[in-house]
Amino acid sequence: MKELYGIIRLKGKKSLLKGSMILGGLSLAVFVFYIWGMLSPLSPGNGQPVKLTVTRSSSTSSIGQMLFEKGLIRSARFFNLYTRLRGVDDQLKAGTYTFSTAQSLPEIVNELVKGSDDGRVITIPEGFTLKQIAQLLEKEGLVSREDFLAAAAEDDFNYPFVKKLPPGPNRLEGYLFPDTYRVGSSTTAHTIIDLMLRRFDQKMKEMDYYRKVEAAGLTLHEAVIIASMVEREARVDRERPVIAGVIFNRLQRDMPLQIDATVQYALGSQRAKLYYRDLEINSPYNTYLIKGLPPGPIACPGESSLLAAVEPVKTSYLYYVARPDGTHAFARTLDEHNANKRKYIR
């Protein structure tokens, strides 16, 4: 009887073990099936395109919720868990994406980590200052004004001409080449600045500018300062070398440059009209009070102004005044200049 009881108990244990293994296997299968379902596309085969915009303030949870509401994933909660386990929940980038309902969750997450290649096109106008560029980029939703100015002032950029610039918040003023650029919505301030510095360096080489600067008896910094003043003063290309010639003539005669654009830079705003009190501002950029060049560029000059700075027209002009149409009346003497002012300034 004891032997029979032992056999029954042994068989019972084996059955229980077998049952546990079967249940464990079923549980594992269900778990694997669940995970596979969560990772798989909602619409295998030919999916539908779905556009999604992720802002810089979007959290991982809000991104997961947007993906769920757009019909791209099965669970926002699983999305959060998946990105956390992969260690990429803090690497999802802002941008405008076009996903497909045929994409798997890993494919969607990979795109979010890589960043969108939406190819935003932005034009930086000639004559813009660092602050104006920062405001434009912020308005376009690319980077914040604060991030851009901080990167311009503090980040390291591997260009020889940058290494020679005096430190300070405006150190890159004049060196961000005004042009049309193609950038993604997730592009950082550092990357945008590096792109513009690279374009500046390319232009310098294309124009053989480094040699022309040396031939003109200038440093690169001096040339860019002069070019920036020409950029802010001139409205038509044919006058840029003439205005540059006036600047050189006044420098050679130890005359103050008396350029309104430098005073506007010192004031921190572009004003249609300057008053006598504005001309008394205590600033090294006030060329009405300080002789010689200002300490740095006052804007980002374009190619025409850069060339004018190293290839000025040789002239005896010492003065100029703006006409209503944007061109200038040039003069050799103060009497001629005053006559032009009476004629054109109302």
| Residue range 50-68, pLDDT digits in tens | 888 888 778 999 999 999 9
Q: 264 lies in a domain?
A: yes
- Residue 102: predicted pLDDT: 86
Number of domains in the chain: 3
Asked whether residue 309 falls in the same domain as residue 232, the answer is yes
- Residue 79: predicted pLDDT: 94
Asked whether residue 181 falls in the same domain as residue 239, the answer is no
Q: 26 lies in a domain?
A: no
Give the residue with greater pLDDT, 114 vs 149. Answer: 149
Domain boundary among 206, 239, 269: 206
Asked whether residue 126 falls in the same domain as residue 105, the answer is no
Q: 307 lies in a domain?
A: yes
Following DSSP, what letter does each residue of 240-291 receive, concatenated? HHHHHHHHHHHHHTT-----HHHHHHHHTS--S---TTGGG---TT-TTTS-
Pairing label, strands 328-331, 180-183: unpaired
User: Mean of the pLDDT values across residues 275-287?
Assistant: 87
Give the residue with greater pLDDT, 280 vs 193. Answer: 193
Residue 9 has pLDDT above 80, yes or no: no
Q: 6 lies in a domain?
A: no
Question: Does the CA dihedral 110-113-117-118 come out positive or negative?
Answer: positive
Select from 227, 204, 129 the least CA-distant residue to 172.
Answer: 129
pTM over cut 0.85: no
Residue 237 is classified by DSSP as: G
Q: 161 lies in a domain?
A: yes
Q: Over pLDDT 70: what percentage of the chain?
A: 90
Asked whether residue 108 falls in the same domain as residue 135, the answer is no
Going by pLDDT thresholds of 50, 70 and 90, the confidence category of residue 2 is: very low
- Supply φ then ψ for residue 232, to 5 degrees: -80, -25
Select from 205, 200, 145 the least CA-distant residue to 175.
Answer: 200
Domain boundary among 90, 114, 138: 114
Asked whether residue 200 falls in the same domain as residue 260, the answer is no
Asked whether residue 138 falls in the same domain as residue 99, the answer is no
Asked whether residue 175 falls in the same domain as residue 223, the answer is no
Asked whether residue 110 falls in the same domain as residue 131, the answer is no
User: Mean of the pLDDT values across residues 130-159?
Assistant: 92
The Cα 21–Cα 23 span in angstroms is 5
Domain boundary among 88, 114, 140: 114
Residue 104 has pLDDT above 70, yes or no: yes
Q: 308 lies in a domain?
A: yes
Per the structure, the complete domain to which residue 273 belongs is given by: 218-315
Question: Do residues 230 and 330 make contact, with C-beta atoms less than 8 angstroms apart?
Answer: no
- Residue 50: predicted pLDDT: 87
For the chain, give the mean pLDDT: 87
Whichever domain contains 89, its CATH number is 3.30.1490.480
Q: 324 lies in a domain?
A: no
- Residue 195: predicted pLDDT: 93
- Residue 187: predicted pLDDT: 80
Question: Does the CA dihedral 286-289-293-296 come out positive or negative?
Answer: negative
Q: 125 lies in a domain?
A: yes
∠ CA 225-229-235, nearest 5°, is 145
